Amino acid sequence: MMAPLTGLKVIELARVLAGPWAGQTLADLGAEVIKVEAPRGDDTRAWGPPFVKRGEDESSAYYHSANRGKASIIVDLASAEGQARLRELVRDADILIENFKVGGLAKYGMDFESLSKVNPRLIYCSITGFGQTGPYAHRAGYDFIIQGMSGLMSITGEPDGQPQKSGVAITDLFTGVYSVAGILAALHQRDRTGRGQHIDMALLDVAVAVTANQALNYLTTGMPPQRMGNGHVNLTPYQAFDCADGHIIIATGNDAQYQRLCRLLGLDDMAQAPEFATNKDRLANRRVMIARLNGATVGWTKAELLSGCEAQGIPAGPINDLAEVMADPQVVARGLQIELDGVPGVRAPFTFSDAELSLHRPAPKLGEDDAAAL
């Protein structure tokens, strides 16, 4: 079976994470992705340890996490020769992804207006911190700062502690995925119009968009939601609970699940108590309810409580570290851990009935494909 995007040609003028993540996703889906690097290479090649060693090449695990399946060529855009080479690459390309500062490529004649004259069908995706317009357009965008500015950190962390960022660069990753969605939409439109177009992706736009139900809670009430640790602003009990040997997550989504949880824990009186009868009641009396539930769960081991919840149809799960994740039978069964030419990786989360992913090479060495491109 072929990969879904076989035959598409992508030029990637992107560094660090959001742009490369979009490029890697397209490569996994079958597109030919040519990573155009400055002579020093993508900054993340040096973001280690840990490092992955392939022959004489030593690049960081971080770099390998976002650049699988691509070719790498070295182009000096400041030179006339480099600019001519890139224009030649663009001539028959379908997509270009770039994350230069606003206006950064115009001085080389590599902006959308210039390259669309070379290839009117080109889909040109620009990824920046704040977009091509607005008072912050000139600023550089960093995931950590965007997490703070977007409100994501205001709703993450314990109520009495510092606001917390996510454990991965979540706004970069979401922007990469949204960029792919925008690119595929533009490809679909091009089938009707014959024309490419410019896609303006901003980390801040994406981060604000993914505040999701929390944004609607604010827009509905006028009250900004606050940090709740592992609690859920709209559901309870829906959080981590203490066990004798650690913690598990219990995530009830309706009254019946809550009632079964109470009976499992020997708290039958709570199952029918009017102050906990509906989710609205439980939210109003959350503190008392959680204290009693937690007082009961602490007498169980994690394994015992998980088993009991599963038997009673109560949604629950463990809090795994990454070693436990990669050994999890479900993760193993789905084939999420991969290895390409001795380099470990995590498979893109697509499973098709009539297509397959293109997983044929690890992240390239700097300039590995210069000779082939020439």
State the catalytic residues. Answer: 172
Question: The sheet that has 95-98: what strands, in order across it?
Answer: 71-74, 32-37, 9-13, 95-98, 123-128, 198-202
Query: In 3D, which of 219, 222, 223, 241 has the Cα closest to residue 232?
Result: 241
Return d(Cα 82, Cα 229) in angstroms, integer.
51
Query: In 3D, which of 110, 97, 106, 114 has the Cα closest to residue 201?
Result: 97
Please calculate the CA angle 124-26-70 and round it to the nearest 5 degrees: 100
Query: In 3D, which of 103, 102, 108 has the Cα closest to residue 90?
Result: 108
DSSP class per residue in 295-308:
HHHTTS-HHHHHHH
250, 319 contact by CB (below 8 A) = no
DSSP at 81: H
